[in-house]
Amino acid sequence: MALLEVNDLKTSFRTEDGFVGAVDGVSFSIEKGQTLGIVGESGSGKSVTCLTIMGLNAARNTISSGEALWKGRNLLTMKPKELREIRGNEISMIFQDPMTSLNPVHTIGRQLEEAILLHRDVTKKVARARSLELLKAVGIPRAEQRIDDYPHQFSGGMRQRVMIAMALINDPDLLIADEPTTALDVTTQAQILSLMKRLQEDFGSAIIMITHDLGVVAEIADDVEVMYAANVVEQAEVHDLFNRPQHPYTWGLMGSLPRLEADVDRLTQIPGQPPSLLRPPSGCRFHPRCPYVMEVCKTTFPGLEPARNDPDHLQRCWLDQETKDREAAKLLAATMAEAH
Protein backbone atom coordinates (compact mmCIF):
# COMPACT_ATOMS: atom_id res chain seq x y z
CA MET A 1 0.00 0.00 0.00
CA ALA A 2 1.27 3.41 -0.92
CA LEU A 3 1.89 5.87 1.89
CA LEU A 4 -0.39 8.42 0.27
CA GLU A 5 -2.64 7.71 -2.65
CA VAL A 6 -4.60 10.54 -4.21
CA ASN A 7 -7.38 9.65 -6.61
CA ASP A 8 -9.22 12.09 -8.85
CA LEU A 9 -8.89 14.97 -6.42
CA LYS A 10 -11.03 17.99 -7.29
CA THR A 11 -11.26 21.28 -5.44
CA SER A 12 -13.30 24.28 -6.40
CA PHE A 13 -13.80 27.59 -4.65
CA ARG A 14 -17.03 29.51 -4.63
CA THR A 15 -16.38 33.13 -5.55
CA GLU A 16 -18.59 36.10 -6.41
CA ASP A 17 -18.07 35.38 -10.10
CA GLY A 18 -18.84 31.68 -9.90
CA PHE A 19 -16.96 28.48 -9.21
CA VAL A 20 -13.23 28.34 -9.76
CA GLY A 21 -12.01 24.81 -10.34
CA ALA A 22 -8.56 25.17 -8.81
CA VAL A 23 -7.75 21.45 -8.95
CA ASP A 24 -9.52 19.28 -11.46
CA GLY A 25 -8.83 15.58 -11.24
CA VAL A 26 -5.35 15.04 -9.82
CA SER A 27 -4.12 11.53 -9.01
CA PHE A 28 -0.77 10.35 -7.71
CA SER A 29 0.74 8.10 -5.12
CA ILE A 30 3.88 8.35 -3.07
CA GLU A 31 5.90 5.69 -1.25
CA LYS A 32 8.05 5.92 1.87
CA GLY A 33 11.39 7.65 1.29
CA GLN A 34 10.36 8.97 -2.11
CA THR A 35 10.34 12.53 -3.37
CA LEU A 36 7.55 13.73 -5.63
CA GLY A 37 8.00 17.04 -7.39
CA ILE A 38 4.97 19.06 -8.47
CA VAL A 39 5.90 21.77 -10.99
CA GLY A 40 3.71 24.45 -12.47
CA GLU A 41 3.26 28.18 -12.75
CA SER A 42 1.29 30.31 -10.34
CA GLY A 43 -2.38 29.40 -10.41
CA SER A 44 -1.82 25.90 -11.77
CA GLY A 45 -3.28 24.32 -8.63
CA LYS A 46 -0.13 22.81 -7.16
CA SER A 47 -0.48 24.46 -3.74
CA VAL A 48 -4.24 23.92 -3.56
CA THR A 49 -3.69 20.20 -4.16
CA CYS A 50 -1.59 20.01 -1.03
CA LEU A 51 -3.77 22.33 1.04
CA THR A 52 -6.73 20.08 0.19
CA ILE A 53 -4.86 16.96 1.26
CA MET A 54 -3.96 18.66 4.53
CA GLY A 55 -7.54 19.89 5.01
CA LEU A 56 -6.39 23.49 5.20
CA ASN A 57 -8.85 25.13 2.79
CA ALA A 58 -11.55 27.30 4.31
CA ALA A 59 -14.52 24.94 4.58
CA ARG A 60 -17.00 27.76 4.01
CA ASN A 61 -16.43 28.19 0.28
CA THR A 62 -14.58 25.06 -0.78
CA ILE A 63 -15.97 21.98 -2.44
CA SER A 64 -13.68 18.97 -2.70
CA SER A 65 -14.22 15.53 -4.10
CA GLY A 66 -12.15 12.46 -4.83
CA GLU A 67 -10.03 10.77 -2.20
CA ALA A 68 -6.68 11.10 -0.53
CA LEU A 69 -5.85 7.82 1.15
CA TRP A 70 -3.32 8.19 3.94
CA LYS A 71 -2.21 4.69 4.95
CA GLY A 72 -5.60 3.56 3.66
CA ARG A 73 -7.76 6.18 5.41
CA ASN A 74 -9.41 8.96 3.44
CA LEU A 75 -8.17 12.34 4.66
CA LEU A 76 -10.97 14.20 2.90
CA THR A 77 -13.76 12.58 4.91
CA MET A 78 -11.97 12.59 8.25
CA LYS A 79 -13.34 14.50 11.22
CA PRO A 80 -11.37 17.67 12.09
CA LYS A 81 -10.19 16.05 15.32
CA GLU A 82 -8.76 13.00 13.56
CA LEU A 83 -7.15 15.23 10.97
CA ARG A 84 -5.51 17.32 13.68
CA GLU A 85 -3.87 14.21 15.05
CA ILE A 86 -2.28 13.48 11.69
CA ARG A 87 -1.41 17.02 10.75
CA GLY A 88 1.93 18.21 12.10
CA ASN A 89 2.53 14.68 13.33
CA GLU A 90 2.45 12.13 10.53
CA ILE A 91 2.18 14.71 7.73
CA SER A 92 3.77 18.10 8.09
CA MET A 93 4.15 21.06 5.85
CA ILE A 94 6.74 23.74 5.13
CA PHE A 95 5.37 26.95 3.67
CA GLN A 96 6.92 29.31 1.18
CA ASP A 97 7.27 32.39 3.28
CA PRO A 98 9.05 31.68 6.56
CA MET A 99 8.34 35.18 7.88
CA THR A 100 4.56 34.94 7.80
CA SER A 101 4.31 31.32 8.86
CA LEU A 102 6.08 31.75 12.19
CA ASN A 103 4.33 33.53 15.04
CA PRO A 104 6.21 36.80 15.61
CA VAL A 105 5.27 37.17 19.29
CA HIS A 106 6.56 33.81 20.53
CA THR A 107 10.11 32.56 20.73
CA ILE A 108 10.96 29.84 18.25
CA GLY A 109 11.65 27.48 21.15
CA ARG A 110 8.10 27.91 22.40
CA GLN A 111 6.68 27.32 18.93
CA LEU A 112 8.73 24.17 18.47
CA GLU A 113 7.77 22.85 21.89
CA GLU A 114 4.10 23.49 21.16
CA ALA A 115 4.33 21.24 18.10
CA ILE A 116 5.61 18.40 20.28
CA LEU A 117 3.30 18.93 23.26
CA LEU A 118 0.25 18.86 20.96
CA HIS A 119 1.03 15.36 19.77
CA ARG A 120 3.16 13.72 22.44
CA ASP A 121 2.55 13.12 26.11
CA VAL A 122 5.91 14.42 27.32
CA THR A 123 7.13 17.00 29.81
CA LYS A 124 8.16 20.47 28.75
CA LYS A 125 11.73 19.62 29.56
CA VAL A 126 11.76 16.70 27.14
CA ALA A 127 10.08 18.84 24.50
CA ARG A 128 12.69 21.52 24.89
CA ALA A 129 15.52 19.01 24.61
CA ARG A 130 13.97 17.62 21.45
CA SER A 131 13.55 21.15 20.01
CA LEU A 132 17.19 21.86 20.67
CA GLU A 133 18.21 18.60 19.02
CA LEU A 134 16.27 19.49 15.87
CA LEU A 135 17.64 23.03 15.73
CA LYS A 136 21.11 21.52 15.80
CA ALA A 137 20.16 18.96 13.16
CA VAL A 138 19.07 21.68 10.73
CA GLY A 139 22.30 23.58 11.34
CA ILE A 140 21.37 26.60 13.44
CA PRO A 141 24.60 27.86 14.99
CA ARG A 142 24.62 28.42 18.77
CA ALA A 143 21.26 26.66 19.04
CA GLU A 144 21.31 26.78 22.87
CA GLN A 145 21.17 30.56 22.83
CA ARG A 146 19.08 31.02 19.73
CA ILE A 147 16.22 28.79 20.90
CA ASP A 148 14.98 31.72 23.01
CA ASP A 149 15.11 34.21 20.12
CA TYR A 150 12.11 35.57 18.25
CA PRO A 151 11.59 34.97 14.51
CA HIS A 152 12.61 38.53 13.55
CA GLN A 153 16.05 37.90 14.99
CA PHE A 154 16.72 35.27 12.31
CA SER A 155 17.66 35.73 8.67
CA GLY A 156 15.45 34.31 5.90
CA GLY A 157 17.51 31.16 5.48
CA MET A 158 17.68 30.56 9.23
CA ARG A 159 13.90 31.04 9.57
CA GLN A 160 13.33 28.48 6.86
CA ARG A 161 15.58 26.10 8.82
CA VAL A 162 13.43 26.70 11.89
CA MET A 163 10.36 25.86 9.78
CA ILE A 164 12.02 22.64 8.63
CA ALA A 165 12.95 21.79 12.23
CA MET A 166 9.33 22.35 13.23
CA ALA A 167 8.07 20.20 10.38
CA LEU A 168 10.41 17.35 11.29
CA ILE A 169 10.01 17.51 15.03
CA ASN A 170 7.51 14.65 15.27
CA ASP A 171 9.33 12.44 12.74
CA PRO A 172 6.66 12.79 10.03
CA ASP A 173 6.22 10.11 7.40
CA LEU A 174 5.41 12.73 4.80
CA LEU A 175 6.76 16.24 4.44
CA ILE A 176 4.96 18.62 2.10
CA ALA A 177 7.21 21.50 1.09
CA ASP A 178 5.43 24.33 -0.71
CA GLU A 179 8.10 26.35 -2.54
CA PRO A 180 10.46 26.11 0.44
CA THR A 181 13.37 27.85 -1.29
CA THR A 182 11.62 30.36 -3.56
CA ALA A 183 12.14 33.31 -1.23
CA LEU A 184 15.82 32.47 -0.66
CA ASP A 185 19.11 33.30 -2.37
CA VAL A 186 20.87 30.61 -4.43
CA THR A 187 23.53 29.84 -1.86
CA THR A 188 20.90 29.54 0.88
CA GLN A 189 18.73 27.49 -1.46
CA ALA A 190 21.64 25.09 -1.96
CA GLN A 191 22.02 24.82 1.83
CA ILE A 192 18.32 24.08 2.35
CA LEU A 193 18.10 21.54 -0.49
CA SER A 194 21.16 19.63 0.70
CA LEU A 195 19.73 19.73 4.23
CA MET A 196 16.41 18.28 3.03
CA LYS A 197 18.20 15.52 1.10
CA ARG A 198 20.29 14.62 4.14
CA LEU A 199 17.31 14.65 6.51
CA GLN A 200 15.37 12.45 4.13
CA GLU A 201 18.20 9.93 4.26
CA ASP A 202 18.30 10.11 8.08
CA PHE A 203 14.57 10.08 8.78
CA GLY A 204 13.32 8.19 5.72
CA SER A 205 10.40 10.60 5.19
CA ALA A 206 8.61 10.96 1.90
CA ILE A 207 8.65 14.48 0.45
CA ILE A 208 6.22 16.30 -1.82
CA MET A 209 8.13 19.23 -3.28
CA ILE A 210 6.01 21.95 -4.81
CA THR A 211 7.98 24.36 -6.96
CA HIS A 212 7.96 26.40 -10.14
CA ASP A 213 11.67 25.80 -10.63
CA LEU A 214 12.53 22.91 -12.96
CA GLY A 215 16.10 23.10 -11.68
CA VAL A 216 15.04 22.31 -8.12
CA VAL A 217 12.91 19.40 -9.36
CA ALA A 218 15.80 18.01 -11.40
CA GLU A 219 18.02 18.10 -8.33
CA ILE A 220 15.73 16.57 -5.75
CA ALA A 221 12.72 14.68 -7.15
CA ASP A 222 12.27 10.99 -8.02
CA ASP A 223 8.93 11.47 -9.78
CA VAL A 224 7.53 14.65 -11.27
CA GLU A 225 4.08 15.96 -12.03
CA VAL A 226 3.68 18.92 -14.33
CA MET A 227 0.50 20.89 -13.68
CA TYR A 228 -1.22 23.38 -15.94
CA ALA A 229 -4.55 25.11 -15.32
CA ALA A 230 -5.70 22.74 -12.55
CA ASN A 231 -4.77 19.57 -14.48
CA VAL A 232 -1.81 17.25 -14.46
CA VAL A 233 -0.49 17.41 -18.04
CA GLU A 234 2.47 15.11 -17.62
CA GLN A 235 3.69 12.69 -15.00
CA ALA A 236 6.95 10.76 -15.17
CA GLU A 237 10.12 9.57 -13.49
CA VAL A 238 12.50 12.52 -13.31
CA HIS A 239 15.12 11.33 -15.84
CA ASP A 240 12.40 10.24 -18.21
CA LEU A 241 10.70 13.63 -17.96
CA PHE A 242 13.84 15.61 -18.70
CA ASN A 243 15.09 13.28 -21.44
CA ARG A 244 11.80 12.52 -23.17
CA PRO A 245 9.26 15.22 -22.31
CA GLN A 246 5.95 14.41 -24.00
CA HIS A 247 3.75 17.49 -23.58
CA PRO A 248 4.00 20.81 -25.45
CA TYR A 249 3.64 22.71 -22.17
CA THR A 250 6.61 20.85 -20.69
CA TRP A 251 8.58 21.66 -23.85
CA GLY A 252 7.61 25.30 -23.44
CA LEU A 253 8.70 25.35 -19.80
CA MET A 254 12.04 23.74 -20.61
CA GLY A 255 12.63 25.99 -23.61
CA SER A 256 11.80 29.18 -21.76
CA LEU A 257 14.41 28.49 -19.10
CA PRO A 258 17.68 30.40 -19.45
CA ARG A 259 20.38 27.88 -18.58
CA LEU A 260 23.92 27.98 -17.30
CA GLU A 261 24.89 24.91 -19.29
CA ALA A 262 23.64 25.87 -22.74
CA ASP A 263 23.82 28.91 -25.00
CA VAL A 264 20.62 30.03 -26.64
CA ASP A 265 20.29 33.37 -28.29
CA ARG A 266 16.54 33.56 -27.95
CA LEU A 267 14.38 31.80 -25.43
CA THR A 268 11.40 29.87 -26.66
CA GLN A 269 8.45 31.66 -25.22
CA ILE A 270 5.00 30.32 -24.52
CA PRO A 271 2.72 32.97 -26.04
CA GLY A 272 -0.14 34.44 -24.01
CA GLN A 273 -1.09 34.01 -20.40
CA PRO A 274 -2.33 31.09 -18.31
CA PRO A 275 -6.15 30.90 -18.66
CA SER A 276 -8.67 31.98 -16.08
CA LEU A 277 -10.04 29.01 -14.17
CA LEU A 278 -13.44 30.67 -13.94
CA ARG A 279 -13.97 29.94 -17.61
CA PRO A 280 -11.29 27.47 -18.68
CA PRO A 281 -10.82 26.96 -22.45
CA SER A 282 -12.77 24.17 -24.12
CA GLY A 283 -11.01 20.96 -25.02
CA CYS A 284 -7.38 20.83 -24.00
CA ARG A 285 -6.76 23.73 -21.61
CA PHE A 286 -3.39 24.46 -23.17
CA HIS A 287 -4.71 24.73 -26.73
CA PRO A 288 -4.91 28.56 -26.97
CA ARG A 289 -1.16 28.78 -26.24
CA CYS A 290 -0.05 25.58 -27.96
CA PRO A 291 2.01 25.87 -31.19
CA TYR A 292 0.90 22.37 -32.27
CA VAL A 293 -2.83 22.94 -31.85
CA MET A 294 -5.14 20.76 -33.97
CA GLU A 295 -8.93 20.75 -34.42
CA VAL A 296 -9.46 17.95 -31.93
CA CYS A 297 -7.62 19.92 -29.20
CA LYS A 298 -10.21 22.69 -29.35
CA THR A 299 -13.17 20.42 -28.74
CA THR A 300 -12.16 17.33 -26.81
CA PHE A 301 -10.40 17.18 -23.47
CA PRO A 302 -7.51 14.70 -23.72
CA GLY A 303 -7.17 11.94 -21.12
CA LEU A 304 -4.04 11.23 -19.10
CA GLU A 305 -2.63 8.41 -21.24
CA PRO A 306 0.62 6.43 -21.10
CA ALA A 307 3.27 7.76 -23.46
CA ARG A 308 5.16 5.28 -25.64
CA ASN A 309 3.23 2.49 -23.89
CA ASP A 310 5.08 3.26 -20.68
CA PRO A 311 2.57 3.08 -17.81
CA ASP A 312 4.89 5.19 -15.62
CA HIS A 313 5.00 8.08 -18.06
CA LEU A 314 1.60 9.71 -18.41
CA GLN A 315 0.70 12.67 -20.60
CA ARG A 316 -2.40 14.60 -21.61
CA CYS A 317 -2.01 15.50 -25.29
CA TRP A 318 -3.56 14.58 -28.64
CA LEU A 319 -0.34 14.82 -30.69
CA ASP A 320 0.87 11.62 -32.34
CA GLN A 321 3.83 9.82 -30.81
CA GLU A 322 6.09 10.45 -33.78
CA THR A 323 5.77 14.24 -33.55
CA LYS A 324 6.28 14.13 -29.81
CA ASP A 325 9.44 12.04 -30.04
CA ARG A 326 10.80 14.31 -32.74
CA GLU A 327 10.08 17.51 -30.79
CA ALA A 328 11.45 16.06 -27.54
CA ALA A 329 14.67 15.05 -29.30
CA LYS A 330 14.96 18.50 -30.87
CA LEU A 331 14.51 20.21 -27.51
CA LEU A 332 17.05 17.94 -25.85
CA ALA A 333 19.59 18.58 -28.60
CA ALA A 334 19.14 22.35 -28.23
CA THR A 335 19.56 22.41 -24.48
CA MET A 336 22.42 19.93 -24.44
CA ALA A 337 24.31 21.60 -27.27
CA GLU A 338 26.81 23.33 -25.04
CA ALA A 339 26.63 21.07 -22.04
CA HIS A 340 29.90 20.11 -20.50
Amino acid residing at 13: F
- Is there a contact between 237 and 310 (Cβ–Cβ < 8 Å)? no
190 binds other proteins (CB under 8 A): yes
User: What is the strand order of the sheet 62-70 is part of?
Assistant: 18-30, 4-15, 62-70, 73-74
Answer whether 115's CB lies under 8 Å from 128's CB.
Answer: no
Q: Report the residue number, 72 or 258, with the smaller CB distance to other proteins.
A: 258
Alpha helices in the chain (DSSP H): 46-53, 80-86, 108-119, 124-137, 143-146, 156-168, 186-203, 214-220, 238-243, 248-255, 295-299, 321-336
By CB under 8 A, name the one of 15, 77, 194, 282 that touches other proteins.
194
Cβ contact 307:241 at 8 Å: no
Least distance (Å) between residue 210 CB and other proteins: 14
Dist CA 124 CA 117 (whole Å): 7
Nearer to other proteins, 123 or 256 (CB): 256
Q: Provide the minimum distance between the beta carbon of 216 and other proteins in the complex, in angstroms, as a whole number.
A: 5
If binding is defined by CB under 8 A, does position 187 make contact with other proteins? yes
Should residue 60 be labelled a site residue for other proteins when binding is judged by CB under 8 A?
no
In whole angstroms, the minimum distance from the beta carbon of 218 to other proteins comes to: 5
260 lies in the binding site for other proteins (CB under 8 A): yes
Helix, strand, or coil (residue 262) = coil
Question: Among 106-114, 122-130, 150-158, 319-327, which window interacts with other proteins (CB under 8 A)?
Answer: 150-158
In terms of CB distance, is 61 or 256 closer to other proteins? 256
| 213 contacts other proteins (rule: CB under 8 A) | yes
CB of 242 to other proteins, least distance (A): 5
Is residue 42 within the footprint of other proteins (CB under 8 A)?
yes
x/- mask, other proteins, residues 239-258, rule CB under 8 A, reads x--x---------xxxxxxx
How many other C-beta atoms are found inside a 10 Å radius of the C-beta of residue 311? Answer: 7
Q: How near is the Cβ of 76 to other proteins at its closest, in Å? A: 29
- As a whole number of Å, the CA-based R_g of the chain is 21
Q: Which stretch binds other proteins (CB under 8 A): 94-102, 128-136, 149-157, 164-172?
A: 149-157
- Shortest distance, CB of residue 42 to other proteins, whole angstroms? 6
The amino acid that residue 172 corresponds to is P
Length of the chain, in residues: 340
Dist CA 38 CA 339 (whole Å): 26
Binding site for other proteins (CB under 8 A): 41-42, 141, 155-158, 185-191, 193-194, 212-219, 238-239, 242, 252-261, 264, 266-271, 273-274, 335-336, 339
